[in-house]
A and B are shown apart, each in its own frame.
Chain A
Amino acid sequence: MKFRAKIIDVGCLNHFTRVVNTISKLTKTCILRLTPGNLYFVLSGKIASGGVSMWCELSQANFFDEYQLEGVAPEANEICLEVTPENLSRALRTAQNAKCVKIKLTKKHCPCLTFAAELPTLSSVSRVVTHDIPVDVIPRRLWHDFKEPSVPDFDVSIYLPPLKTMKNVVDRMKNLSNFLVIEANLNGEMNLKIETDLVSVTTHFKDLGNPPWGDDGSQGRSHSRDPELMAQTRVDIRKLQQFLMGQQVNPSKAMCNIVHKRIIHLILLHEDVSLQYFIPAVA
């Protein structure tokens, strides 16, 4: 099991830092799956994480100038690690103007991801900062927990309004209620609602548009649907807030799939990065 990668380009470094920062806002620990072509940050919907799951996919070629991986076995050329994204984020933060950053899987006092950054100096010799970040190596028999989730058979899929706007709304609603109902229809309309004994608040969004999912299997249920009919899910408002709060990547596309009374599936696409986030319904 070997892994080493290197970033030289400042733009790539900043981009990677933003992705990691986003992940660190979403979860305390997650799985980092390394394959020859991609990196994945994965959170599987365990009770401990409030049933929330996450899938973030990066194409390594878009970030790294060098990338070498030797997986667990030739037929399973992957490495699966449990990491604390906050530590990765901290390590990257101190490497902001680095000439280059190397990431290596190392065996120190325990398995570590070692970040080494070469920092510019006035003298001829560079300043080097290294961070040994402890990781847990996930044995192969547990890998099945961390497979890409399939797109749920949703009732309605809708483009999201600008995330900042949505965040402002949700932040205010959070002061009034712990739960939020998100509903949308095939007519490009979405509502965010809270209801308490004292007050009901609804924010209406319209003309958002519905993503064309083509002949994808998920289209089945929404095909013959009344465009005005709302599909709705009630979620823990903190989970949604956390998702909106952590966004540091400006997505080119943001959408939400709603499975009526079951789950919401949020998708952010930004060039080479995709982030999927699942929030289960609460009764």
Chain B
Amino acid sequence: MLRFIGRRLVTLVPTLLAVLTLVFVLVRVVPGNPALILLGDQATPEAIARFYRETGLDQPIWHQYLSFLGQIARGDLGRSMINDRPVTSAIAEVLPYTLELSIAGVVVGVLLGVPLGVVAARSNGGWVDWLVRIVTLGGLSFPAFVSAIMMLLVFGLWLGWFPIISGGKPWSDPGGRLMSLALPAINLGLVMMAYVARVTRGGMLNTLPSDFIRTARAKGVPMRRIVWKHALRNVLLAVVTFTGLYFSVLIGNSVLTEIVFNRPGLGKLVVGALDRRDYTLLQGLVVTYAVLVVVVNTLTDLLYGLVDPRVKTG
């Protein structure tokens, strides 16, 4: 197992390097002079020169590239172009909120999606199957901001069950924190639920006709146990893969969810950076998102090895 983890971690390095290179290139091919954008059209040549010197943009490109990589390796994402705050601390401050929301969303999605998929496969073609179909169609059709707005209106405003502003309640108030997390997490979870339910249903339908299922039935194992233990164990592999794969969709949706529920997080930071044209902050955020996705993909692979021991030898 350790060797498997080690091998997987080594492959992380070139992926991360490629991602960072892309970010570096992207930020530099932007049309328009960053100095003029930031300092305004009226900027004096001296001011522009100083700006170049301070941001290191007057150095040769390979020098910029190496110092960019070096900085990131040291965990330094530069300083905000607007308020000179270290980007790392701005991100670190809100990252827990986004992580908490994303994890809660995955948990909601898997806990609802797997059972839905199983009962749908059991009723294959029956009314339960159709019901699940309609539910998953809804889950896939709601853009995250639309479902968020509707939930906010119905459960927050009209019914008043949840707080409207799910601001950063501290963990010293666990009830309030969970209440403010509930609606955003459910909002993220609904899309995940739809994906997971469909994957589970498809996997179940493929697994149930297998020989080992027939053997188990012949041995007299109760159907309930066969479905939830023998068959589901095989399907979980696909569920893990797709959950990992759709994590990047979930991250995208978290941006919208955070905006609608006015939650602190990376999403709100992105919008703020866009509004103020804070390119260093934006660059730091893109790196953070990409690293997040790469890390989750790696975790998915590791989990894969845990669920199915055959993978490790591969």
B and A form one assembly: no
Chain A residues with a Cβ under 8 A of chain B: none
Chain B residues with a Cβ under 8 A of chain A: none
